[in-house]
């Protein structure tokens, strides 16, 4: 859960999000090095006396052509690696389906018989102590911890987007189309997200709450919900 005055990302709760945070830090260090070099050169030019002599600068031209290419490669390789990791879905242990509607989510556990429910935002007047305004729902999406999960995302009316930042997941929900993504929650907890696609008047009232629990608790919960 994000805090006020927080400058960084939320704590990563999936391997993909850990890789994204690491790549973010890597890119920032590269940008910091570039800015420091440019600032140093600008300061040097301002302080040094200008010379009108013509100098053969083939070596300098070679350096400022090759160096940016090397920097781009250092950024592109880890970026492509993470991109392929996010698209890779390899034998999930559990498959879920999220259907975006105006303005709530419907979840279906396709590996269980008759296990589906709607998830509505809890109005401010009905919130319990400790609940977050505009983020709490009446039915959470419960998943087992440390289990590869595939989620199929679609919509029944307009464009939506199923996004949970701490899990590193953001997938568009498009009517008539099935998109899929995967995640693995590495620790128990409650993770909050919201619809990230402007979908109408109540777009800001479509929260997403994923509750990661140990496998025995998940099995008990699924048995109760299937009754």
Whether residue 188 is predicted with pLDDT greater than 60 in this model: the reply is yes
Final residue belonging to a domain, choices 87, 108, 132:
87
Instruction: State mean pLDDT over 205-217.
Output: 93
We report the CATH number of the domain holding residue 74 as 1.10.287.90
Helix or strand (DSSP H, E) at 40: helix 15-47
DSSP state of 200: S
Residue 100 has pLDDT above 90, yes or no: yes
Q: Is the pLDDT of residue 106 over 80?
A: yes
pLDDT tens digits for range 41-76: 888 888 877 665 545 677 778 888 898 899 999 899
Domain enclosing residue 28, as ranges: 15-87
Higher-pLDDT residue of 87 and 139 is: 139
Which residues are 173's β-sheet partners?
160
pLDDT at site 61 = 80
pLDDT computed for residue 213 by the predictor: 95
Give the residues across from 95 on adjacent strands.
Answer: 150
| 3 state DSSP class of 205 | helix
Is 108 found in the same domain as 72?
no
> Which pLDDT score is estimated for 149?
93
Tell me phi and psi for residue 155, to 5 degrees: -140, 160
List of residues 6+ apart from 152 with CB closer than 8 A: 95, 96, 97, 98, 110, 178, 179, 180
User: Of 87, 104, 132, which one is at a domain's C-terminal end?
Assistant: 87
Q: How many domains does the chain have?
A: 2
Q: What is the pTM of this model?
A: 0.83
On whether both 53 and 105 belong to a single domain, the answer is: no
Are both 220 and 116 inside the same structural domain?
yes
Whether residue 181 is predicted with pLDDT greater than 70 in this model: the reply is yes
């Amino acid at each position: 859960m994000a805090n006020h005055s927080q400058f960084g990302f939320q704590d990563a709760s999936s391997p993909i999000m850990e890789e994204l945070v690491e790549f973010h830090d890597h890119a920032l260090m590269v940008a910091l090095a570039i800015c420091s070099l440019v600032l140093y050169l600008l300061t040097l030019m301002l302080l040094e006396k200008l010379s009108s002599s013509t100098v053969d600068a083939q070596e300098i031209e070679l350096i400022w052509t090759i160096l940016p290419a090397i920097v781009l490669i250092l950024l592109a390789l880890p970026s492509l690696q993470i991109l392929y990791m996010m698209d890779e879905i390899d034998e999930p242990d559990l498959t879920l389906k999220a259907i975006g509607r105006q303005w709530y989510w419907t979840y279906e556990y396709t590996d269980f018989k008759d296990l589906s429910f709607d998830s509505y935002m809890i109005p401010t007047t009905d919130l319990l102590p400790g609940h977050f305004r505009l983020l709490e729902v009446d039915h959470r999406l419960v998943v087992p911890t440390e289990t590869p999960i595939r989620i199929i995302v679609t919509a029944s009316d307009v464009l939506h987007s199923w996004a949970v930042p701490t899990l590193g997941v953001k997938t568009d929900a498009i009517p008539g189309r099935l998109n899929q993504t995967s995640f693995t929650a590495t620790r128990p907890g409650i993770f909050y997200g919201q619809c990230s696609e402007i979908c109408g008047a109540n777009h800001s009232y479509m929260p997403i709450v994923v509750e990661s629990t140990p496998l025995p608790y998940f099995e008990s919960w699924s048995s109760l919900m299937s009754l």
